[in-house]
Chains A and B, each alone.
Chain A
């Protein structure tokens, strides 16, 4: 450091001396020699050089000058290129883009007919600040979520504080109001350049859609669904908007396009709008039949997402676990006192909406200790398909053979969380079983609470021995998971109980199912009486999707770290479904096929007790193909959860339906996955 300073001093001071008092410069190194005695020889030489030069050329270029010169040169070149780029006609700069589906369909003669309502999912919608603490000064009506996220880096703790909700009520904390961004801008781009709805909107616009017949039903995705109505009247606004669009567009019914969590949000809306006023919207029993032509669910998370479990349980998903494996200690060490994961966990646990995505239907749907509907799924094949889009006949024969021989090797997807790799594979008879009821009795307030700093995760309140009880049970299925979460996060689950339910209804006519907490669970509600309506499940397939996890207790059981984590060392069983502590299954990277397709493939197909009026359902699957080149960006045939919104085939389907086509006209079901077979294995009373 000292040498740097000295060097800098040289740069500034020396030339002046050189030019004016040439001989004095010989003395300075002597003085400095006393100081260090290492660098001076270099400096001597340097000075001599400089002196020589300065004699020849009085105007000498110094280091700083060179730096400036370089920066200036770079800037100028950059500006020049930028200028040229802007001067070029738009068509020249872009490579040859394939024709967007909207343009093609417009030539076919499609025009805007039915108004379209877009319902964004979790995370993708923007949130902006309306009232905040002093630390958020100057952020009024600026985006806290979405956009460039600059505030995370500038003031991370302030940011987290504003995004969390109240721990008891699940509503705003006092003095903070964060609200959903309204309008199409809410979720067209999540971050600059990362489209969500933008491509779909653009293609809709090409066939004539605009503000008056295209509406984004933005809502605060952190709240539970009923709370969006209580706090923001979001459901009432949506109802009024749909009614308005229905009237102003010549009494054409709307086409609703929900995505991800928006799917169950809209399911909630369908029940809400027809329920009587104090709890519901009072639209009367014919409202949906009158106003809605089709619901085109994209990447629907009808029956929940296993990812949520790991998220709630240990605030990590595949990506986080992977980082942890690569650089152990980075996330766990209290770097800069940030405690990243703990903070994330604390904030995300205040978001009620996450609980709506927990696996629904228990063991009947998701499988138990020894059984799961997906069993026999061959991950290798899927991976090959994932890598190489062309289907290989030989391979498929091979897999059929496998299916015959290796029945006992099936992955036990039913065990959503298991402690240790062995526990995830052993037959259930060899597993120690521990009554989960014992949990509740042992849980006591913890003594380690006080030294644990200000980060509050509910793990701090659990005593150490009760934490140790959790792994003793070895494996958890979708049913016991709920108990587990009740145990590790009692406050969160108490809030959640009031807003969501994850069971299967025995008798749908039971008056208790009129409560709003059942409305977002397709297994506990009836679809509205609207025989002309259509329900589509548009989902991507062909990407390994998280389905169950191998956990281990955290090695350092200090109070500040989350006591469990994914065991990323658990790798590779024979058919390769296990990787980094996560068992994969077919899906769209977030939602497994089972959750996305089951309701449309079986639960609502025909006239069932969940679908008393026999609404037509269609399953449209889109086989994932990775982008062929970098220029394609995120691909036009992607099947990934968010990238599918740029999938040409999906856009075409949506456009055709919006322009008036029915499900049968666009080709009925297209199925690539095993969803039909999987559904058949599920014994659900219909």
Chain B
């Protein structure tokens, strides 16, 4: 107000002096009046001064924020890069740019197969509480609705407990297209970096395809419900046809590896159960399968996930703030709800460790034994190398019994098998629990288990991967009943047995033959150098009434410096989720050369990427990471993929690239090949 008046006065100042005087007088009076008013207002506001200062403070922050945003938007787009380069020195070219300069261009079409959890899911039909969410993402994106209406969200994300398909009245479907899994949440890339780099050498929608599927349901059910496998088949055929007969390069990640294994069997199987593509479909359409972080033989993490819905992260949270997760905060019963939801997802069962004791080790034996955990930590730390060497020699004696995937109590995990007293739980009484009715509406199958059953489980003390299956059958019979119809975890004695034509064996590499496609190539690309969960120390939950009766014993610590046991979890080399053994064994031994699992002798290659944490915060999630998801931004991996997509073979890349002990471990596994 004041300003404007001043301005007009200046403009009119060329007029007569008297006018100015008048104006000034007026203005002065006006201002005086205003000033008085102001003073009054201030006096009045004395009482509410706290609110005022709050408002003032918020106003300040908002204004500054807007101002910064404005500046940020006005800034040229290359500015952040310029700053980064000024601090860290020139960045290396992204692999796409580098390879483009080398002259690489689009050659083979590329198919991405996303893994579990990373793909988006959207709502197509829902209950009353989910109104307005039509075609909005329930999974992926900002997860805004988890906070707004958590119970509604859990209800929509769960599947039917009996069939493993949609519950009545709810249809949640995978997002399709590249957007399905380029970013999991805003800013958290999954495939985006790889897509951007492929685009640099000329890839676009017509040569890239994201085989998005509903990762909650079992592999065969994606075909039954959504015809996803048929779509993938048709899309691959289309891409081969429209790109001049060039075969596709398939890049599955995480569980997508198993899904694509299933696909390769499905597509060649005859029509009612399979896709009817004929016995040479894979040979005709697929150039290479580049598995990233593939849990071929399963992931021990899944066991703890199914058993007590906790992974290391949750166990740590529980250790720091005991009771928070267990109490009925706001009546939410978080973990129980999560357990109920995840147990309806059939796909998690595809990643239960496969191959039993032969692969994962028995009570006293495991392929990884002798692995030195301190070596991993000190690899990036030169000062410790001497001490590490010394320890390496000494520590061999008390090597970890990784074979015991679940043990009750730290001592049980370490002593020799002959000293363990075990009581078989299999025949134990699973009576109705009286506490069942008091446990609200949250249904976990533990409510059906009597106290006796829980005790019987704990009394068995040690579970190897063979007995884990029995354990899960015992604690979650309904889930495993569904699981048995869709997945199998054994090792085939005779692959020609006609029973192996059933789809439940297709995703288990130990019970299927690879397709007859000698020109195809299979890569196993995974990160190493990150401690990965391998075995757990459990304890009974103190108040075993309504809660999940078991939890990881976070107090179990290894003691010495170079220990593998930390917070109740034994870790081993891997990519934070998948142990090296699971990711590498098939390519290192199971399929190497002409074996019974690989009758046509498809060449296999192992490409390991040693984990190096990001050098500074500016690098974000790092360009040399080996972690399970972050590896998708690893420049070396992207480089390899682009080269293969542009036509290189495994030999051109340099064959195997191994940092871990995978060959040594594979040799310890006695598997008939």
Binding site for B on A (CB under 8 A): 2-4, 7, 36, 38-39, 41-42, 44-46, 49-50, 52-53, 56-57, 60-61, 65, 67-73, 75-76, 86, 90-91, 130-131, 134, 137-138, 140-141, 154, 177, 179-180, 182-185, 188, 201-202, 205-206, 208, 210-212, 232-233, 236-237, 240-241, 243-244, 247-248
Determine which of B3, B148, B205 lies in contact with A182 in the assembled complex, contact meaning CB atoms within 8 Å: B205
B418 in the interface (beta carbon within 8 A): no
Check if A131 sits within 8 Å of B199, measured CB to CB.
yes
How far, in angstroms, from A53 to B124 measured CA to CA in the complex? 64
Check if A49 sits within 8 Å of B39, measured CB to CB.
yes
Closest CB of chain A to B367's CB: distance in Å?
A: 43
Residues of B within 8 A of A45 (CB): 28, 31-32, 35
Residues of B within 8 A of A205 (CB): 124-125, 134-135
How far, in angstroms, from A71 to B60 measured CA to CA in the complex? 8
Determine which of A4, A137, A179, A210 lies in contact with B7 in the assembled complex, contact meaning CB atoms within 8 Å: A4
- B49-72 vs A, CB cutoff 8 Å, 1 = contact: the mask equals 000101111111111000000000
How far, in angstroms, from A141 to B183 measured CA to CA in the complex? 12
B150 in the interface (beta carbon within 8 A): no
- B10-39 vs A, CB cutoff 8 Å, 1 = contact: the mask equals 100100000010001101100110011011
Assuming A131-B200, A179-B205, A237-B238, what are 5 further A-B pairs, CB within 8 angstroms?
Answer: A38-B6, A39-B9, A68-B59, A201-B135, A240-B238
B226 in the interface (beta carbon within 8 A): yes
Determine which of B3, B59, B173 lies in contact with A211 in the assembled complex, contact meaning CB atoms within 8 Å: B173
Determine which of A53, A65, A184 lies in contact with B135 in the assembled complex, contact meaning CB atoms within 8 Å: A184
Interface centre among B132, B196, B204 (most CB of A within 10 A): B204
Task: Give the number of residue pairs across the A-B interface with Cβ within 8 Å.
Answer: 171
Residues of B within 8 A of A137 (CB): 77-78
How far, in angstroms, from A177 to B202 measured CA to CA in the complex? 9
How far, in angstroms, from A247 to B205 measured CA to CA in the complex? 24
**Closest residue of A by beta carbon distance from B212:** A211
Check if A49 sits within 8 Å of B131, measured CB to CB.
no
How far, in angstroms, from A183 to B73 measured CA to CA in the complex? 30
- B176-217 vs A, CB cutoff 8 Å, 1 = contact: the mask equals 111100100000000000011001101011100000000000
How far, in angstroms, from A60 to B49 measured CA to CA in the complex? 12
Closest CB of chain A to B607's CB: distance in Å?
A: 27
Determine which of B7, B52, B242 lies in contact with A236 in the assembled complex, contact meaning CB atoms within 8 Å: B242
Determine which of B24, B58, B60, B132 lies in contact with A41 in the assembled complex, contact meaning CB atoms within 8 Å: B24
Contacting residues of chain B (93-151) with chain A, CB-CB under 8 angstroms: 124-125, 131-132, 134-135, 148
B470 in the interface (beta carbon within 8 A): no
Check if B63 sits within 8 Å of A183, measured CB to CB.
no
Check if A248 sits within 8 Å of B27, measured CB to CB.
no
Closest CB of chain A to B591's CB: distance in Å?
A: 32
Check if A76 sits within 8 Å of B199, measured CB to CB.
no
Check if B242 sits within 8 Å of A237, measured CB to CB.
yes
How far, in angstroms, from A13 to B51 measured CA to CA in the complex? 26
Check if A3 sits within 8 Å of B56, measured CB to CB.
no
Known interface pairs A45-B31, A45-B35, A237-B242; A72-B59 also in contact (CB < 8 Å): yes
Q: What are 20 A-B pairs at a CB distance below 8 A? A: A3-B3, A38-B9, A38-B10, A38-B13, A42-B2, A45-B28, A49-B36, A49-B38, A53-B35, A53-B38, A68-B57, A68-B59, A71-B58, A86-B148, A131-B200, A177-B204, A182-B178, A210-B173, A233-B242, A237-B238
Check if A240 sits within 8 Å of B234, measured CB to CB.
yes
How far, in angstroms, from A137 to B79 measured CA to CA in the complex? 11
How far, in angstroms, from A248 to B9 measured CA to CA in the complex? 79
Residues of A within 8 A of B59 (CB): 67-73, 75
Residues of A within 8 A of B32 (CB): 45, 49
B171 in the interface (beta carbon within 8 A): yes
B423 in the interface (beta carbon within 8 A): no
How far, in angstroms, from A243 to B237 measured CA to CA in the complex? 12
Total B residues in contact with A, Cβ cutoff 8 Å: 67
Determine which of A46, A130, A141, A240 lies in contact with B237 in the assembled complex, contact meaning CB atoms within 8 Å: A240
Check if B27 sits within 8 Å of A179, measured CB to CB.
no
Known interface pairs A53-B42, A73-B55, A248-B231; A130-B199 also in contact (CB < 8 Å): yes
How far, in angstroms, from A68 to B5 measured CA to CA in the complex? 22
Check if A138 sits within 8 Å of B174, measured CB to CB.
no
How far, in angstroms, from A616 to B296 measured CA to CA in the complex? 56
How far, in angstroms, from A538 to B427 measured CA to CA in the complex? 69
How far, in angstroms, from A241 to B238 measured CA to CA in the complex? 9
How far, in angstroms, from A73 to B204 measured CA to CA in the complex? 48
Residues of A within 8 A of B62 (CB): 71-72, 75
Check if A244 sits within 8 Å of B230, measured CB to CB.
yes
How far, in angstroms, from A67 to B63 measured CA to CA in the complex? 10
How far, in angstroms, from A69 to B32 measured CA to CA in the complex? 22
Residues of A within 8 A of B24 (CB): 38, 41-42
B555 in the interface (beta carbon within 8 A): no
B227 in the interface (beta carbon within 8 A): yes
Determine which of B7, B36, B60, B230 lies in contact with A247 in the assembled complex, contact meaning CB atoms within 8 Å: B230
How far, in angstroms, from A57 to B44 measured CA to CA in the complex? 13
Residues of A within 8 A of B237 (CB): 240
How far, in angstroms, from A256 to B177 measured CA to CA in the complex? 21
B241 in the interface (beta carbon within 8 A): yes
How far, in angstroms, from A347 to B646 measured CA to CA in the complex? 34
Check if B63 sits within 8 Å of A71, measured CB to CB.
yes
Check if B177 sits within 8 Å of A183, measured CB to CB.
yes
Residues of B within 8 A of A44 (CB): 28
Known interface pairs A45-B32, A72-B56; A140-B196 also in contact (CB < 8 Å): yes
Check if B10 sits within 8 Å of A3, measured CB to CB.
yes
Determine which of A7, A68, A76 lies in contact with B6 in the assembled complex, contact meaning CB atoms within 8 Å: A7
Check if B56 sits within 8 Å of A69, measured CB to CB.
yes
Check if B231 sits within 8 Å of A53, measured CB to CB.
no
Residues of A within 8 A of B131 (CB): 90-91
Check if A76 sits within 8 Å of B226, measured CB to CB.
no
How far, in angstroms, from A185 to B205 measured CA to CA in the complex? 14
How far, in angstroms, from A70 to B60 measured CA to CA in the complex? 10
How far, in angstroms, from A134 to B134 measured CA to CA in the complex? 38
**Closest residue of B by beta carbon distance from A60:** B42
Check if B176 sits within 8 Å of A211, measured CB to CB.
yes
Closest CB of chain A to B130's CB: distance in Å?
A: 9
Closest CB of chain A to B551's CB: distance in Å?
A: 35
How far, in angstroms, from A56 to B39 measured CA to CA in the complex? 10
Known interface pairs A3-B6, A72-B62; A248-B230 also in contact (CB < 8 Å): yes
Determine which of A41, A72, A140, A180 lies in contact with B55 in the assembled complex, contact meaning CB atoms within 8 Å: A72
Check if B31 sits within 8 Å of A90, measured CB to CB.
no
Closest CB of chain B to A459's CB: distance in Å?
A: 34
Closest CB of chain A to B16's CB: distance in Å?
A: 13
Check if A72 sits within 8 Å of B57, measured CB to CB.
yes
How far, in angstroms, from A4 to B60 measured CA to CA in the complex? 21
**Closest residue of B by beta carbon distance from A59:** B49
**Closest residue of A by beta carbon distance from B225:** A212
**Closest residue of B by beta carbon distance from A129:** B199
Check if B39 sits within 8 Å of A211, measured CB to CB.
no
Check if B227 sits within 8 Å of A212, measured CB to CB.
yes
Check if B234 sits within 8 Å of A244, measured CB to CB.
yes
Query: Closest 7 A-B residue pairs measured CB to CB?
Result: A72-B59, A68-B59, A49-B35, A72-B58, A71-B59, A72-B55, A248-B227
Check if B204 sits within 8 Å of A130, measured CB to CB.
yes
Check if A7 sits within 8 Å of B42, measured CB to CB.
no
Interface centre among B25, B55, B62 (most CB of A within 10 A): B55
How far, in angstroms, from A254 to B124 measured CA to CA in the complex? 20
Check if B6 sits within 8 Å of A53, measured CB to CB.
no
Closest CB of chain A to B7's CB: distance in Å?
A: 7
Closest CB of chain B to A602's CB: distance in Å?
A: 39
Residues of A within 8 A of B61 (CB): 72
Check if B42 sits within 8 Å of A41, measured CB to CB.
no
How far, in angstroms, from A36 to B6 measured CA to CA in the complex? 11
Check if A244 sits within 8 Å of B13, measured CB to CB.
no
Residues of B within 8 A of A134 (CB): 78
Determine which of A57, A177, A206, A212 lies in contact with B231 in the assembled complex, contact meaning CB atoms within 8 Å: A212
Closest CB of chain A to B21's CB: distance in Å?
A: 9
Contacting residues of chain B (155-177) with chain A, CB-CB under 8 angstroms: 171, 173-174, 176-177
Interface centre among B73, B202, B205, B241 (most CB of A within 10 A): B205
